[in-house]
Amino acid sequence: MTAQILDGRAVSATLLKEVKDDVAEFVHEHGRVPVLATVLVGDDPASHTYVRMKANRSAQVGMRSRRIELDAGITTETLVRQIRDLSRDPEVDGILLQHPVPAHIDERAAFEAIDPAKDVDGVTRTSFATTAFGEGGFNSATPGGIMALLDAYDIPLKGKHAVVVGRSAILGRPVGMLLLTQDATVTYCHSHTVGLAERVAEADVVVAAAGRPGLIRGEWIKPGAVVVDAGYADNSGDVEYEAAAARASYITPVPGGVGPMTIAILLTQTVRAAWERETGWRRSRVPLKGWT
């Protein structure tokens, strides 16, 4: 068995074409361009690369990206004040705080300074709660991208056993909530789970989101399982790729799987936020399973 690739680059390109059409319609109706504000703290090269990629994708779909760069030594209070100013800015539709931030900053306090109506990266407590209760807020971007990728390949989730390896507030926990909305049975695991190999071996769908390269061995994968690897460090994922691909039915590559989908969902949610701010009602040209 050789797994079929879940091609995030191809699927995200299709989604971004829809976003571009949605942006053009928005500009025609409202006479302004949707704006995504990106806040970058410090000099981390990877973060600068990610923010640049997001700005480039924004331009490709006709959006405007406003980049705010802040010194690594700023206080939490200064960062919170900057984000609150963006939350009040009538020209800004979506706000992205590039994470991680420097260790001395209270990242959760910074996230909570984002107006939930502009939380297009889905990082606030409000967004997590609306995801968990199926009340239609903004999904965390990477979990939303995972769901969109599974949807694009018509991966059945109803009644399937999904094992999520990871428990972060913006990836592991919310992706489990989204899988529940599609009637999967969800087990959460993490790097300290006793018997992790046995839990993974029971899964019809494995979502690796621990941020630990090579944590999940290929021989743990049940034959025919779907493997989604959301880990990324030094061009490696959380899953031992070659061995897993020999057993799985579908698998995401790293890079080129989940990463491109994250940006596509971020921009999808930004134009949705713009429509909601102008019209007071939700709309999107991109209907996705798991979005209520």
The reported pLDDT for the residue numbered 286 is 52
* Mean pLDDT score across all residues of the chain: 93
Identify the CATH number of the domain defined by range 141-258. Answer: 3.40.50.720
Q: What kind of fold does domain 31-117 have according to CATH?
A: Rossmann fold (3.40.50)
Active-site positions? 54, 98, 121
Strands 205-208 and 250-251: unpaired
291 pLDDT more than 50 = no
Among 1-5, 112-116, 263-267, which is the least confidently predicted range? 1-5
The reported pLDDT for the residue numbered 292 is 38
Please, where in the chain does CATH 3.40.50.720 lie?
141-258
User: Tell me: the pLDDT tens digits for 222-249?
Assistant: 999 999 999 887 778 999 999 999 999 9
Please, where in the chain does CATH 3.40.50.10860 lie?
31-117
